[in-house]
Amino acid sequence: MKSRLFLIRHGPTHAKAMVGWSDLPADLSDTAALARLEASLPPEALVVSSDLRRAVDTASAIQGARQRLPHMPGLREIHFGTWELRNWKDVDAEDPDRIRAYWETPGDTTPPGGESWNQVCARVNDTVDHLLQVHAGRDLVIVGHFGQILTQIQRAERLSPTAAFSHKIDNLSLSTLSYGPDGWRSGALNQRP
């Protein structure tokens, strides 16, 4: 059975820093964009989001009459540890080798107290695999985050972490993937309906 995944990035936070597990609200004032996004989704799809407010509120704004699943912490953004809510310039001044390795050659490098790219992928992949198993053959609207969406694009397109990071994922964008007997397939990425 084939499932389609409609991956939506939450509305903007306007933070000029690395925002991972901080529970910042989303700016959902672009009601026209939200309405277009909602209209572009299959009516029978299930809606799920990470448990962070910016994703929960965005999911509520585009849910329509669709069934909502419980929020899932496994769909959270990257855990930036001590880099959380700090900008690149400040962290680069303190720990240039580590921050460059994290973003330029993602893999096992971790922010202090945070998680590596490989750990993010394992966490999100496990959560998405669970959703696909429990809701086999259903369309899933997954409202989440930049890093969380990239993990699934990396998997579907069989990319290296560095190649996955080259993708742009805008706020309120839609990326589509599918999973079925033939494995993963990638559709349109970073679309603004």
Active site residues: 10, 77
Distance CA 41, CA 35 (A): 10
**Closest by Cα among 113, 57, 104 to 85:** 113
Q: Report the phi/psi class of residue 113: left, alpha or beta, with left for phi > 0 and alpha for psi in -120 to 50.
A: left
DSSP-assigned beta bridge partners for residue 47: 68, 141
Q: Show the tokens assigned to 169.
A: 């994922």
- Phi, psi (degrees; rounded to nearest 5) at 191: -90, 145
**Closest by Cα among 130, 127, 126, 124 to 146:** 124
CB-based contact 168:33 (threshold 8 Å): no
Could you tell me where the DSSP H helices lie in the chain?
31-39, 53-62, 88-94, 96-104, 117-134, 146-157, 161-165
